[in-house]
Structure 1
Amino acid sequence: MRDEEGEAVVIREYDPKTDRDGTDAVDRDCEVGPGGGMSLHADLLGDPVARIRRSPRYLMLVAETSGPGGRIVGLIRGTVKSVATGESRPGAPAFANVGYILGLRVAPSHRRMGIALLLVRQLERWFELMGAEYAYMATDRSNEASLRLFTARCGYSKFRTPSLLVHPVHSHRLRAPRRATVVRLAARDAERLYRSRFAHVEFFPADIGAVLDNALSRGTFLAVVDKGGYEWRGVDHFLSSPPASWAVASAWDCGGVFRLEVRGASRLRRGAAAATRALDRVAKWLRVPSVPDFFRPFEGWFVYGLGGDGRDAAVAAEALFASIVNMARGAAAAVAVEVAALDPLRSRIPHWRRLSCAEDLWCMKRLGGGGGPADGWDWARSAPGRSIFVDPREV
C-alpha cells in the first residue's frame, strides 16, 4: 500500500538496532489520557519490547514508509501462550494456544490508510504459525476507532468486560479488616495452590511457575478469615483441609518494565496534589486521601491471580489488596487489579473511581478461517465465568 505522498508502506519485524527512535516517536504521538488537556505517557525504559519479552513467544512489527527519508509510522506487539479456556471437561482443564495483541499504534499523519489493518493481519498470520487457536485484545470501551477495526473489519467479538480497579499508595497505611490473617507463601507452594484451585479459570497460564519465579513478581499472599487466627501449615495441609474463607493473590512490579507520567496538568492541579501529600507525610494519623505525584515518572504494581472461596472471601480479598498497597509504599505510586465482571470479590476491593475503569473490554476471535472446533464449542462465543486470570506480563 501507499500513503498520501505516494510512498509505499511495508510491514516488517522490529529491529532493535535501528528502530528504537522511530517507535518511540510513534508512541509519543499516540499518548492518551484522562482529558482536560492531560495525557498519559508510558516510558518502556528504552526497550520497546519490554512489555512482551517475558512471554514464552513474542513478536513486534513496525510499519515503515519506503524510499529516502522513510520513517516508522505504525507498530504492533503480540505474544502467544497456552492458557485455560474455562471449559468444563472431565479429568483436566481445557487449554488453548492464544495470541494476545497489544500496543497497536499508528501515527496521526498516517491514520485511515489501512495500516492498522495490515499490522493486525500480519500479526495474526504469525499467531497461526505459532499454533495459536484464538487471538484476543483489550481496549477501552470508549475507543471507537479500535472497536470498529477489530469488530467490524477483523472479525472479533466482544468477549469479556473486566474492571480495572486502581488505588493510590499513600504515606499512611491503608486499613485492612482485622479479622483477616495474611501470610506470605513460598513460590512452590503458591504454584501448587494455583494449579490445584485455579487451573480451570479463564486465561490461567500453563507456565504459571515461570510467572511466579519472575524477578518482577513480588510474592504471593494468602488471607484467611478466622476468628481464632490462622497458622500456615504448608500447602498440603491447606489443600486437604482449607479454611472456611480465604483469598490468594500475587503482586507484580510493573516498574521493572515501564514508568507512567501524566502530562499537561495545570500548576493549580499539581499544587493541590502536592499539598495533600505534604499533609499526609506530616500527619499520617489524619489518613488524608493524598494524590501521588503522577506528574513525574512513576511506577505501579499489579495484583494478579486474585481468587478465593468461602462466605467471607471478599473480606479476605480486601485484606490482601490493602496489604499489597501498604507493601508498595516507597516503591510505587499506585496498585491495580483487574477482575471479572461477575467476580464476587470485586465488591470489597478498595479503589478510586477516578483512577479506575469500570468496564474494560476484551475482544476475541477464533483463528484459522473462523471455523469452530469439531465438537462445536467456541471459546470466543462462550458465556463469561465468575473469574478471570490476568497475566501480569501483558499489563
Structure 2
Amino acid sequence: MGCREIKLRSFDKQRDTAMVEDLEKKCEVGPRERPFIYMDTMGDPMCRIRNSPEYKMLVAELENELVGVIRGSIKIVTCSSLEDKAKVGYVLGLRVSPLHRRKGIGLSLVKRLEEWFDANCVDYAYMATEKDNEASLKLFMDNLGFVKFRSPTILVNPVSHHVLHISSSVKITRVKVEQSENLYRRFMSRVEFFPHDIDRVLQNRLSLGTWVAYPQGESWDGFDPNRCIPSSWAMLSVWNSGDLFKLRVANVPLACIVCTKIMSLIARAVPFLKLPDLPDVFSAFGFYFIYGVHGEGPQTGVLLHSLCRFVHNLATNCKDCKVIVVEVGGLDGLRHHIPHWEFISCTEDFWCIKPLRNRNNTQFNWSETPPPRALFVDPREV
C-alpha cells in the first residue's frame, strides 16, 4: 500500500477522539529500553492547542484506520530586539502509527499543515524536539528545510510535602492581570517569542497569577513608568498545565517505584530529617509551568529564587501537581537561580525554524540571527 492511499483531513471530535488516544498510546515518547513519558489528554486531543489564537489538527486515515496525527497553532510574536513582529506557526504533536512509518505519512502531514500556515500568511514555522530524536530531526531538517534555531533550557523541580522557607528580607506581591500586562509589555516586549496577545495569556483560566519580588523595606510602583521601581526586582507567572493534561512516567523498573514509595513514607513520617521527597510520577500527575521570568538589579537572582520557592509552596496545595517546570533561554543567566534537579531537567531543548515567506520584501531572515540571552516560552505551547 502506497502513501497515495492515505487520506488527510481535519480532526473530527466525535469521530476521531478515541482513535487518536489509541494511536498516541502506541506512539509512546521514548524507547522501550528506558523510561518514557506518556501524556494523558483526558479525552481532549486538542488540549495542547485549544488556547492558541488559531489552531488546527489533522489526521491521516488509511481504510478507516487512523495512522497519523499532527497539530498546529498560529500567533504573532516579537522576532527581534527592535520589537519587529512575525506571524509564526508552531508544529507539534506529530504522531505516526508504528506499523505505518517510513511511508511518507509524517512528511505529508507536515506539508499539509504548512499549506494551512501559508493560507494564513504565516512568516515562519517552528517546532521543538529532543536533540537526540534522530527521526524527527531527519524529517524536519533533511526533508523539510528546517534549521536549528534556539536551544532553551528546561528546568524541572519536584514538589515536596514540605513548605519551603522564604527569607523575611524578600517581599512578594501578587499583581492584577491588567498590571501584569503592563509590566510584560514594558519590560519584555522586545524578548524573542513574546506573544502579541499577552493579555489573553494572562486572562486565561489556567494562568494562576503573576507575582513580583523585591527587597523588604522598599516600595513597589512598577506599574507607573514615571515613578521609581525597587533597586532589584523579579517577576514570573504560573500556568496550571495539569488542568489540561496529565503525565505519567512508564517503563520504570519495579525497584525504582518501591524505593520512591519508601522514601516518600519516611519523609512524611520523620520530616525533621529533611530527606528529599521524591514525587510519585508513576501514576498520572500534573505540573505547574512558570513563564514570563524577568528581573532587574543586583539582587535579581536571590529574588527569583524566593519566587520559585513561593511557587513551590503554592503547588503543595494542589494534589495532582508533582513537579514545577520552567523553560528559559539557554544563555539566560537567570537559569542559574531557578531551583531544579539536574537529572530530570534538559539543558538543551532543540528548536528548529523555517522561513515560509519574505516578510514585506525585506532582507531580514530571523532564522539566521544569533541566539539572544532571553526567550519567552508561551505556556499555551507546552
- The answer, yes or no, to whether TM exceeds 0.5 is yes
TM-score by length of 1: 0.92
After superposition, what is the alpha-carbon deviation per residue over 1:43-79, rounded to whole angstroms, capped at 9, x for unaligned?
111000011111110000001103xxx2011100000
Compute the displacement of 1:308 (Å).
1.2
CA contact (8 A) 1:176 1:318 kept: no
Secondary structure in 2 aligned to 1:293? coil
| Partner residue, 1:200 | 190
Q: Using the alignment, how far apart are the partners of 1:362 and 1:176 within structure 2?
A: 35
| Partner residue, 1:285 | 272
Query: 1:103 is matched with which residue: 69, 88, 93?
Result: 93
CA contact (8 A) 1:183 1:232 kept: no
| Partner residue, 2:114 | 124
Q: Using the alignment, how far apart are the partners of 2:185 and 2:221 within structure 1?
A: 18
| Counterpart residue type for residue 107 of structure 2 | L
Matched residues, percent identical?
A: 41
Does 2:334 correspond to 1:345? yes
CA contact (8 A) 2:222 2:229 kept: no
CA contact (8 A) 1:218 1:251 kept: yes
Aligned CA distance change for structure 1 residues 372 and 157 (closer, same or farther; 3 Å): farther
Q: Using the alignment, how far apart are the partners of 1:149 and 1:352 within structure 2?
A: 32
Query: 1:217 is matched with which residue: 203, 207, 210?
Result: 207
Query: 2:10 is matched with which residue: 5, 13, 34?
Result: 13
Q: For 1:170-189, list aligned pairs within 5 A.
A: 170-189=160-179
| Partner residue, 1:394 | 381
Gaps of 5+ in 1: none
| Partner residue, 1:355 | 344
Aligned CA distance change for structure 1 residues 355 and 175 (closer, same or farther; 3 Å): farther
Aligned CA distance change for structure 1 residues 81 and 372 (closer, same or farther; 3 Å): closer
After superposition, what is the alpha-carbon deviation per residue over 1:204-259, rounded to whole angstroms, capped at 9, x for unaligned?
111111111111111101111x3x5344346227x631212211100000011100
Q: For 1:62-141, list aligned pairs within 5 A.
A: 62-66=59-63, 70-88=64-82, 93-141=83-131
Compute the displacement of 1:181 (Å).
2.0
| Counterpart residue type for residue 329 of structure 1 | T
CA contact (8 A) 2:25 2:38 kept: yes
Compute the displacement of 1:25 (Å).
1.5
Secondary structure in 1 aligned to 2:75? strand
Q: Using the alignment, how far apart are the partners of 2:256 and 2:218 within structure 1?
A: 45
After superposition, what is the alpha-carbon deviation per residue over 1:322-374, rounded to whole angstroms, capped at 9, x for unaligned?
11111101411000000101111011111011211110010001103xx5753
| Partner residue, 1:308 | 295
| Partner residue, 2:220 | 232
User: Which region of structure 1 is more displaced relative to structure 2, 307-316 or 195-204?
Assistant: 307-316
| Counterpart residue type for residue 360 of structure 1 | D
Q: For 1:252-291, list aligned pairs within 5 A.
A: 252-291=239-278
Aligned CA distance change for structure 1 residues 381 and 36 (closer, same or farther; 3 Å): same
Secondary structure in 1 aligned to 2:200? helix
Does 2:311 correspond to 1:324? yes
Equivalences, count: 380
| Counterpart residue type for residue 354 of structure 2 | K
| Counterpart residue type for residue 83 of structure 1 | V
Secondary structure in 2 aligned to 1:240? coil
CA contact (8 A) 2:220 2:230 kept: no
User: Which region of structure 1 is more displaced relative to structure 2, 185-194 or 310-319?
Assistant: 310-319
Does 2:23 correspond to 1:26? yes
Q: For 1:136-175, list aligned pairs within 5 A.
A: 136-175=126-165
Q: Using the alignment, how far apart are the partners of 1:234 and 1:388 within structure 2?
A: 22
| Partner residue, 2:2 | 2
Compute the displacement of 1:279 (Å).
1.9
Q: Using the alignment, how far apart are the partners of 2:155 and 2:31 within structure 1?
A: 15
Gaps of 5+ in 2: none
After superposition, what is the alpha-carbon deviation per residue over 1:283-304, rounded to whole angstroms, capped at 9, x for unaligned?
3333221111101110101000
Compute the displacement of 1:311 (Å).
1.9
Q: Using the alignment, how far apart are the partners of 2:270 and 2:221 within structure 1?
A: 39
